[in-house]
Amino acid sequence: MTELQHRPTALLVMEERRRDDVYPEAVLKEIGTLVDLREPLTRERLAEDPAALEGVEILLSGWGAPVLDSVLLGHATDLRAVLVAAGSVRPLTTPEFWARELPIVSAAAANAVPVAEFTLAQVLLGLKQVHRISREIRERKAYPPDPRVAGAYRSRVGLLGLGEIGALVASHLRGFDVEVLASDPVVDSARAAELGVRLVGLDELFATCPVVSLHAPLLPETEGLVNGGLVARMGIGATLINTARGAVVDEPSVIPVLGERPDLTAILDVTWPEPPAPDSPLYTLPNVVLTPHLAGALGAERARMGELVAGELRRFVLGQPLQHAVAPDRAHLRA
């Protein structure tokens, strides 16, 4: 490694519960070769003592990041960069932060990996209608004589959203003999072509794809976007997958459709509220599969985000271009 002329002072602020997963010993050791790392804090401890940011040049974080408002920034006069081992930087950024024009790094690319893997698995299961057929076997106590399923041969797969995760799912699907359709208002046809995807409207996406997977960020314009009318247009035996945000789905209008259409399957890794209320039909509908954020980084998978941050930290202190900096005009599009 090039000898550093100056070792910046860094502080790690995030929740304790997942800190060791995100920043395991090997990652902290690498970080320690690059900066003078202070004792880590939680955002609650930092709120009690915001002066802890004085002299800090690099803020490291993850889940449970502090909100960088005028109070904290007033103490962080030496701050030069923020590196976040999490997908979205929306929870910690404020207008005051963006006004400072500081670089901020997101580990969305690392977090996208397990979500895309989970999605790919569910897409392939959905094309075979595994969940539906297994339900029918239990109910009838008999095997169907000749199941009619789409399969992964020249079938369509629909993606709602082509952000970090949606694009990675599209990339994975290029290894299969399927046609990938997508709906995303901020992606142009040239970018879609790079991903091997054809852009279509929402109606066509839901009406013609045996599997539709949601990857849209939660924005005012996407809240409740997937409603009962769209889900009702899905073909016999279709599968809906949501690993994005629960509120993208208008559950009050979708739940009755799922009740009336036992042939459909909904794989919901996220809901709104989360978890569902105790009396929610989502718990009892046989064609709903609930999972508690299993798609996201869990356990050892979380270290991938810390490793990304360590790599970006190395580039920053050596004066090299950052690879995962978030542009201010794109930050709101991250889930």
The structure tokens listed for 152 are 């992964």
Q: How many CB atoms lie within 10 A of CB 36?
A: 13
Whether residue 293 lies in the annotated active site: yes
Pairing of strands 36-37, 58-61: unpaired
Is 245 a known active-site residue? yes
Whole-angstrom Cα distance, residue 209 to residue 298? 30
H-helix or E-strand containing 160?
Answer: strand 153-160
Task: Name the active-site residue from 245, 302, 304, 324.
Answer: 245
Nearest to 127 by CA among 214, 42, 238: 238
- How far is the C-alpha of 97 from the C-alpha of 82, rounded, in Å? 10
6 is an active site residue: no
**In this structure, what token pair is assigned to residue 13?**
């602020």
The catalytically annotated residue of 174, 293, 330, 332 is: 293
Annotate 148-178 with b (16+ C-beta within 10 A) or e (fewer): eebebeebbbbbbbbbbbbbbbbbbbeebeb
Other beta carbons less than 10 A from residue 107's beta carbon: 27
| Residues contacting residue 3 through CB under 8 Å, at least 6 positions apart | none
- The sign of the CA dihedral 98, 104, 107, 112 is positive
Given 17, 174, 274, 332, the catalytic residue: 274
CA 233/CA 54 separation, integer angstroms: 57
Q: Hey, which residues are catalytic here?
A: 245, 274, 293
